[in-house]
C-alpha cells in the first residue's frame, strides 16, 4: 500500500507544493512530508481527508498505482470523481404517486428520519408515510418534507417541517442558500451552505450564531434538497431591536422637523 507515492503524484498534478497541500489539508508540513516519503502512514481520519480533498474514494487512493497510470486512466478517474461530486453516482430516488400517478410530497416522520439515509431508495420505505399537497409547488419538480430538530436554524424551530426541492446536480449548489442535506454519518441536516472554490467540501452555517460553522465533505452526501418553505405549529418569538427602533424614531422626528421647516420657509 504505497499511499505516499500516490499522494505525491496527485499533488504534483495539481501543481502545488508540500507546504500548500499541508495547509489546505489542515496538517503541519512535516507530517504531510512524512506521508509522501513513506516515513509514516496516515491514520484513517487523514486518509479520508486526503481522499475527500482529491475527490477520490479511499479504495482508489490506497489500492491503485498512480505511477503506472496512462492519460486515458487519469481521464476516467477524473470523470468518475466529477460524477461523484455532481451526485450522479446516487442510487435511484424512490417516490410516491397518487391515484392520478402524480408525484406527491412525502412527509418523513420524525421517528423515521434516523433510518432515512438507509432507506431513501426503497419505495416500500415510504408506503405508510403521510403526504402533503401544496398547490404553489411546480409539477415538474420533486419535493419532500423533512422534520427539523434543534434550534440551530431560527426562525425554523424544533418540530417544524421543511419542504425541499430535489437537487440532482450538486455542482449547482449556491452559497448563502439553505438546503436539507442527507448525509452518511450525520443523518438529515438543515443548514445554510457556503461554497468553497476548488474544494470537495461544503461549509455548513447555522442562523443561530451560537453554533459554529463546520465543513462537510461532499463525499458524505447522499441527497440534497433546496429549501422551499416550512410549516410550523408555533409563531417564532420576535425580540424587537430596541436600539434600532429608537434610532428609527429619532430619524423620523428629524425628517418631520425638516418638512415643517420647509413649509414655513420654502426654497424658491
CA–CA distance from 261 to each of 253, 256, 268 (Å)?
Answer: 12, 9, 14
Query: CB–CB of 172/225 below 8 Å?
Result: no
Residue 5 pLDDT grade (very low, low, confident, very high; cuts 50, 70, 90): very high
More confident residue, 116 or 177: 177
pLDDT, tens digit (0-9, with 9 covering 90-100), for 72-116? 788 878 777 766 666 655 544 566 555 565 677 888 888 777 777
**DSSP for 72-96, written as a single string:** HHHHHHHHHHHHHHHTTTPPPPP--
Residue 200's CB is within 10 A of a number of other CB atoms, namely: 18
In order of start, what are the domains of the chain with their CATH numbers? 3-85 (1.10.260.40), 105-231 (2.10.109.10)
pLDDT, tens digit (0-9, with 9 covering 90-100), for 31-77? 999 999 989 999 988 898 888 888 888 888 999 999 998 887 888 78
pTM beyond 0.85: the answer is no
The pairing of beta strand 201-205 with beta strand 187-195 = antiparallel
Reply yes or no on whether the pLDDT at 152 is more than 60. Answer: yes
Amino acid at each position: 500500500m504505497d499511499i505516499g507515492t500516490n499522494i505525491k503524484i496527485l499533488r504534483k498534478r495539481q501543481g502545488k507544493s508540500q507546504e500548500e497541500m499541508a495547509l489546505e489539508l489542515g496538517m503541519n508540513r512535516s507530517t504531510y512530508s512524512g506521508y509522501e516519503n513513506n516515513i509514516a502512514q496516515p491514520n484513517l481520519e487523514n486518509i479520508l481527508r486526503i481522499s475527500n480533498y482529491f475527490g477520490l474514494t479511499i479504495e482508489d487512493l490506497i489500492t491503485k498505482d498512480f505511477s503506472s497510470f496512462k492519460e486515458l486512466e487519469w481521464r476516467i478517474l477524473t470523470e468518475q470523481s466529477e460524477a461523484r461530486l455532481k451526485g450522479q453516482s446516487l442510487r435511484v430516488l424512490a417516490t410516491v404517486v397518487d391515484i392520478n400517478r402524480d408525484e406527491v410530497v412525502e412527509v418523513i416522520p420524525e421517528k423515521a428520519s434516523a433510518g432515512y439515509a438507509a432507506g431513501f431508495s426503497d419505495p416500500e420505505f415510504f408506503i405508510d408515510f403521510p403526504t402533503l399537497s401544496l398547490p404553489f409547488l411546480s409539477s415538474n419538480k420533486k419535493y419532500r418534507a423533512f422534520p427539523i430538530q434543534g434550534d440551530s436554524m431560527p426562525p425554523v424551530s424544533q418540530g417544524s417541517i421543511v419542504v425541499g426541492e430535489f437537487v440532482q446536480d450538486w455542482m449547482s449548489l449556491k452559497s448563502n442558500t439553505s438546503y436539507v442535506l442527507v448525509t452518511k454519518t450525520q443523518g438529515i441536516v438543515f443548514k445554510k451552505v457556503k461554497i468553497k472554490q476548488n474544494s470537495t467540501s461544503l461549509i455548513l452555517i447555522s442562523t443561530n450564531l451560537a453554533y459554529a460553522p463546520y465543513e462537510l465533505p461532499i463525499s458524505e452526501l447522499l441527497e440534497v434538497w433546496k429549501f422551499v418553505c416550512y410549516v410550523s405549529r408555533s409563531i417564532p418569538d420576535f425580540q424587537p431591536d430596541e436600539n434600532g427602533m429608537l434610532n428609527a424614531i429619532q430619524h423620523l422626528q428629524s425628517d418631520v422637523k425638516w418638512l415643517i421647516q420647509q413649509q414655513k420657509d420654502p426654497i424658491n
